[in-house]
Amino acid sequence: MKRAKIIANKKIEIINVPEPCPGDNQIKVKIAYCGICGSDLEEFHKSGDFSHCFGHEISGVVTEIGKDITKFKIGDKVAVHSYEALGFSEYTVESEERCIKLADNVDLKEAALLEPLAVVLCGIRYCDFKIGDTVYVSGCGSIGLLAIQALQSFGARKIIAANRNEFRRNKAKEFGADYVLDPSDKSSEEIVAIVEKEVGEKVDFSLECAGVNASMLACNKVLKPGKTLCALGLSPEAMMLSPFQLFVRPGTWEPGVKIQGMTPFDINMFEVGARLINEKKVNPLEIVSKIFPLDNIQEAFDFTLDRNIPQIKNLIKM
Ligand SMILES: [Zn+2]
């Protein structure tokens, strides 16, 4: 079978490997689609053999089951949750607990987006979001955009979104943000002033989805005292916040903020995500920019890295 492998910095090749065989407690999945994630782009930038995790936003169909498998049958549609997966391949074998069974009518393109949606839902669930909260979403890539739709359906009162890129700001508006701003030429004080003007006060909840320092600072400063900053943006960049900014609001004795990542990952959120998609509350297909066949994966990654092309999420079709 075909599998994509990073062979050098920004160089991917399609190699031929034997089809994997499921163990007793494993399921063999014929992969339909796999999304390109920011973490895959990180791998793409390295050189040497880094194929321990490459492609983890996976949907497919069960083609074979191990003898101890009881919850799945051949022909089932599944999403796979594994951060050790090699999803840019024709087949994978996964243990039962890493596969999520989907309804027969599920679109497998949408199913490949369940993983980023589940990340968003974990963030919302574990970071103290409450109905009626006002929200600041910084970064409108796939995670930020899916979060805007999910937060809206969960009863956010007002959503302010920020992104440097005009295409993404327009998408955020389409996805339900009440107000969008361009943070590129603004200090965090200026961003706070805009948020206070639009919301009437600071916000109850902020979601960092850009993974850059300036965004983290803004997410901290737009929050009311004692509220939670949910950090979802991944990046190797170090985040610089002084302890003062966490303990107290600088210049006051008001309490600072809580910062929380989305862990622990909760696999049940795949089910919640599937329901939200089914009820049309979240429309992940609207973030898909382009679908490339596996043979063109090099082109797909070059395309994804090109910042001049307006785009959000690209998929590989096996
Ligand atoms: Zn991902």
For residue 121, tell me if it sits in a domain: no
Whether residue 264 has a cis bond before it, omega within 30° of 0: yes
Tell how far the Cα of 234 is from the centroid of ligand 1, in angstroms. Answer: 10
For residue 234, tell me if it sits in a domain: yes
Tell how far the Cα of 112 is from the centroid of ligand 1, in angstroms. Answer: 10
What is the model's pLDDT at position 40? 87
For residue 122, tell me if it sits in a domain: no
State which H helix or E strand residue 31 sits in. Answer: strand 26-35
Instruction: Output the domain CATH number for residue 86.
Output: 3.90.180.10
Among 242, 261, 280, give the residue marking a domain's end. 261
Higher per-residue confidence, 307 vs 35: 35
Tell how far the Cα of 33 is from the centroid of ligand 1, in angstroms. Answer: 13
For residue 288, tell me if it sits in a domain: yes
The count of structural domains within the chain is 2
> What does the pLDDT look like over 118-137, one tens digit per residue?
999 999 998 889 999 999 99
Range scoring the smallest mean pLDDT among 55-64, 264-273, 279-288, 301-310 = 264-273
Confidence of residue 291 (pLDDT cuts 50, 70, 90): very high
Read off the amino acid at residue 310. P
Determine how many CB atoms are found less than 10 A away from the CB of residue 222. Answer: 28
Q: What DSSP line would sit under 244-301, residue for residue? A: HHHHB-TTS-SB--EEEE-PSP-THHHHHHHHHHHTTSS-GGGGEEEEEEGGGHHHHH
For residue 312, tell me if it sits in a domain: yes
What is the model's pLDDT at position 161? 98
Q: Using CA atoms, how far apart are residues 37 and 141, in angstroms rounded to an integer?
A: 10
Tally the C-alpha atoms within 13 A of residue 264's C-alpha that lie toward its C-beta. Answer: 3
Q: Spell 229-243 as b/e; 16+ CB within 10 A means b.
A: bbbbbbeeeebebee
What is the model's pLDDT at position 57? 95
For residue 120, tell me if it sits in a domain: no
Whether residues 70 and 101 fall in one domain: yes
Whether residues 195 and 237 fall in one domain: yes
Count, in order, helices (H) and strands (E) of the chain: 10, 15
Which residues neighbour 71 within 8 Å (Cβ) at sequence distance 6 or greater?
96, 101
Asked if 51 and 5 touch (Cβ cutoff 8 Å), the reply is yes
Whether residues 45 and 145 fall in one domain: no
What is the model's pLDDT at position 263? 64
Tell how far the Cα of 210 is from the centroid of ligand 1, in angstroms. Answer: 13
Instruction: Output the domain CATH number for residue 153.
Output: 3.40.50.720
Res. 250: pLDDT tops 70:
no
Whether residues 214 and 275 fall in one domain: no
What is the model's pLDDT at position 264? 67
Range scoring the smallest mean pLDDT among 61-65, 104-108, 232-236 = 232-236
Whether residues 256 and 272 fall in one domain: no
Among 216, 241, 261, give the residue marking a domain's end. 261
What is the model's pLDDT at position 295? 97
Asked if 98 and 114 touch (Cβ cutoff 8 Å), the reply is no
Structural domain including 249 reads: 128-261
DSSP bridge partners of 181: 162
> What does the pLDDT look like over 137-177, one tens digit per residue?
999 999 999 999 999 999 999 999 999 999 999 999 999 99
Cα 108 versus chain centre, distance: 17
Mean pLDDT of the chain: 91
Among 238, 261, 284, give the residue marking a domain's end. 261
Distance from the first to the final alpha carbon of the chain: 11
Structure token pair of residue 63: 């083609």
Tell how far the Cα of 67 is from the centroid of ligand 1, in angstroms. Answer: 31
Confidence of residue 243 (pLDDT cuts 50, 70, 90): confident
Whether residues 277 and 196 fall in one domain: no
For residue 177, tell me if it sits in a domain: yes
Tell how far the Cα of 94 is from the centroid of ligand 1, in angstroms. Answer: 17
Tell how far the Cα of 133 is from the centroid of ligand 1, in angstroms. Answer: 27
Res. 259: pLDDT tops 90:
no
Report which DSSP code applies to 239: P
Q: Using CA atoms, how far apart are residues 100 and 98, in angstroms rounded to an integer?
A: 7
Tell how far the Cα of 39 is from the centroid of ligand 1, in angstroms. Answer: 6
Q: Using CA atoms, how far apart are residues 162 and 172, in angstroms rounded to an integer?
A: 9
> What does the pLDDT look like over 46-65, one tens digit per residue?
755 555 678 999 999 999 99
| Across 82-103, average pLDDT | 92
Tell how far the Cα of 37 is from the centroid of ligand 1, in angstroms. Answer: 4
For residue 214, tell me if it sits in a domain: yes
Q: Using CA atoms, how far apart are residues 191 and 195, in angstroms rounded to an integer?
A: 6
| Across 269-298, average pLDDT | 95
> What does the pLDDT look like over 183-220, one tens digit per residue?
999 998 999 999 999 999 999 999 999 989 899 999 99
Whether residues 66 and 91 fall in one domain: yes
pTM, two decimals, is 0.93
| Across 225-253, average pLDDT | 79
> What does the pLDDT look like over 5-15, one tens digit per residue?
988 888 999 99
Tell how far the Cα of 256 is from the centroid of ligand 1, in angstroms. Answer: 30
Asked if 74 and 60 touch (Cβ cutoff 8 Å), the reply is no
Whether residues 197 and 239 fall in one domain: yes
Range scoring the smallest mean pLDDT among 33-37, 180-184, 243-247 = 243-247
Tell how far the Cα of 253 is from the centroid of ligand 1, in angstroms. Answer: 39
Asked if 159 and 152 touch (Cβ cutoff 8 Å), the reply is yes
Tell how far the Cα of 190 is from the centroid of ligand 1, in angstroms. Answer: 32
Whether residues 230 and 133 fall in one domain: yes
Report which DSSP code applies to 19: P
Tell how far the Cα of 200 is from the centroid of ligand 1, in angstroms. Answer: 35
Whether residues 240 and 153 fall in one domain: yes
Q: Using CA atoms, how far apart are residues 87 and 102, in angstroms rounded to an integer?
A: 18
Report which DSSP code applies to 96: G
What is the model's pLDDT at position 45? 76
